[in-house]
Structure 1
Amino acid sequence: MLRTRLHALPPPLYRRVRRLWLSIVPIVQCSLAAGIAWWVAVVVFDHPQPFFAPIAAVLSLGLSLGKRWRRSVELVSGVVIGILVGDLLISVIGSGAWQIIVVVALAMAIAVFVDDGPLIPMQAASSAVLVATLLPPGGAGGFHRAIDALIGGLIGILIGALVPVNPAHRARRDAAGLLATMRDAARRLAHGLRDMDEHEVSAALASARGTQEAINTMRADMRGGKEVSAISPLYWSSRERLQRISATADPIDNAVRNFRIIARRALGMTQRGEALDPAIIDILDDVGEAFEVLRAMMIAKPNEEPDQADAARVLRSIARKAKPELVAHSSLSETAVMAEIRSLLIDMLMISGLRRSSAAATLR
């Protein structure tokens, strides 16, 4: 009932509500980590104003799953560098505009020398600016601030482990969304080619071209999911499943790229008035149905259907139709389209769990 009501919302509002819903757990994680980090720094370590602790906790978690360990290390390193440089220099040269220039330049230079991560220089610079402008240097302040940053980073990792995002759910959702986009694009491409409709073929190509951000998100969430399953005891049993899901990242990416090539060649043929063999168009229609099976496979729970074997069975039946003999006497354009379809089928077979050698052998 709730899902139906959500889908009834205007598309812009639906996208915003969905985005908020998918971010609920990371928001809860960041909120808890910030409050707990502040409490630990104040009550346990008796630091009077430990604002670096909640800042570090929030930044170490963020709204994305990817590279949280590295983000925490970069954050703490950047804060420590900025604090030490700021405390040491400002206590000697005083505060002012040119002093800020010197402090920020030196902190960022040291940070870049230490590591090539993007967060360390920015965090070092911002920490140095805070010390140079708002926080009195000297004494134990610099040491306390470094400890606060470490507290925040560790609390962030701890909260990420104890209140985790379901690592498999996010990865499966991303992959299924991409496969659904490719399903619709393949169906649209086949329809456009049957009707020699340049607009439809162009729209199918545009849809495939617009997936790069979704691919990047999928890869990041798959990496983050593996990280969560390694850190959180609640999801240690999901490691093998996450490994299987993550193994589909490259084949999905390659399938999208191959489909773009097919659509681009098909668009050129349509613009020139060249009709594609109806048998090949039927195969593209079948490809759309196969993308739907792969999508259903991706969101199916363990021991539910369709599974990898079901998807591979569907794809093998399509592979048997994609015979080189179909283009034995065809034009170069038609032959090129068939070659790319066969490459696409190899990628799709790999999404279903086959190794590249086994997938390629299916299309010999």
Structure 2
Amino acid sequence: MRGAVALWLRASTRRLAESSPAIAQIVVAAMAGYAFAHWVLGEPTPLLSITVAVASLGFKRDARPVRVLRTAVGMTIGILLSEIAVHLFGVGFWQLALITAVTLAAARFFSAEPGFAATVLVQAMLVVLVPAPVGGPFVRTLDGVIGGVVALLATVLLPRDPRREATRAAKDSLDSFVEVLRMLGTALRDGDIAQSAQALDLARTSQAPTDAWASSLDSALSVARISPFLRRYLPELETQRTLHASMDLAWRNLRVVARRAEYLLRDGVARPAVADIITQLETGAQLLSDSFTDVEQRPAARAIFVALVRRLDPEVVMPTGTARDKGIVMALHPLLVDLLCATGMAQSDAQRLLPAL
């Protein structure tokens, strides 16, 4: 019990630390929206300028300006529709049902995210259930516009570090890649079908962190392109996008290798020669992961992959092996090409390094 509490506290502390820039950005945007509506436009209680700004920014992984804009526009339209309905039909039980239905329909039109509909509905209910402020029937729609505008300005002028989330997601994906290789190497060295099955299960669940990496990277690139403070990071992020494309393919080919290994090891016979290759692949992949904090590790990873790819001849690695033994060696060819591309090598150059068969 004490260990579980300690793990929860560590995870919570880490989450809070990682969210600190987002918290600062949201607070500044919310207060800017309130200040403009209250002291410039003279609104006594500009509640929706705060709620729209907060909901538009949020803690989502995807912080692209287009997402912030879509969220702000969707919520503002929900507020506008609610104000129109209240103005035309008044407030009552059936009016509340009508506004709820219309708001949810509009929210689903603007976004496929289930949580977005709930967020828009909350704004609409504030319009219906909270007494109208001084200033006219559509002052709350203006509040929504203000909140959306300050959220967009915060995205451009007070951006979160676009590299942090992308790098964290990249490390998660690469660390899982290394772990699959480690498990496969152990399974092939020991003839352990259970370990091989675990490696295959882990490889099959790898798409989620890889997709999270892509989402974080797209968001980082979108913000860096429009923010004058982050534009200098564009070359670094573009390089990471090339790495992601190669690693996405490498993951697909690693799943093929894992399936072949799991099928191969059903006879319980160890394959130490293939295990040695997998272990060297693991070393190179670990260096590739380490290159996010030390760029000098990438050439070292490439050197390992180059040395491996040149001797991936099935007749040399498994001279007395069966066709299935030789098949798993062949399956390593596209995987090595993808990993070489991940280090920055052109695909044509990587393919030329493969042994002639």
Q: Give yes or no for TM over 0.5.
A: yes
Residue in structure 1 matching 2:301, options 311, 320, 325 = 311
Alignment of 1:1-364 (within 5 A): 10-112=6-108, 115-118=110-113, 121-136=117-132, 140-142=136-138, 144-276=139-271, 278-300=272-294, 304-307=295-298, 309-325=299-315, 326=317, 330-363=321-354
- TM-score, normalization: structure 2? 0.87
Q: Which runs of 5+ in 2 are unaligned?
A: none
CA contact (8 A) 1:26 1:64 kept: no
Q: How many angstroms apart in 1 are the aligned matches of 2:352 and 2:304? A: 16
CA contact (8 A) 2:188 2:274 kept: no
Superposed CA deviations along residues 50-75 of structure 1, whole A, max 9, x for unmatched, are 11111122222222352431232222
Q: For 1:20, give the aligned amino acid.
A: L
CA contact (8 A) 2:43 2:135 kept: no
The alpha carbon displacement at 1:27 in A equals 1.7
CA contact (8 A) 2:64 2:220 kept: no
The alpha carbon displacement at 1:44 in A equals 1.6
CA contact (8 A) 1:67 1:223 kept: no
Q: For 2:349, give the aligned amino acid.
A: S
CA contact (8 A) 2:186 2:195 kept: yes
Q: Which runs of 5+ in 1 are unaligned?
A: 1-8
Q: How many angstroms apart in 2 are the aligned matches of 1:174 and 1:183? A: 14
The alpha carbon displacement at 1:252 in A equals 1.7
Superposed CA deviations along residues 123-177 of structure 1, whole A, max 9, x for unmatched, are 54333333222243997232x2222222222222323333333222332232123
- TM-score, normalization: structure 1? 0.85
Q: Secondary structure at the match of 2:263?
A: helix
Q: How many angstroms apart in 2 are the aligned matches of 1:107 and 1:10? A: 43
The alpha carbon displacement at 1:76 in A equals 2.6
CA contact (8 A) 1:269 1:333 kept: yes
When the two chains are superposed, the root-mean-square deviation of aligned CA atoms in Å is 2.7
Q: How many angstroms apart in 2 are the aligned matches of 1:79 and 1:136? A: 18
Deviant stretches of 4+, over 6 Å: none
Q: Secondary structure at the match of 2:60?
A: coil
CA contact (8 A) 1:41 1:53 kept: yes
Q: How many angstroms apart in 2 are the aligned matches of 1:137 and 1:166? A: 38
Aligned residue pairs total: 349
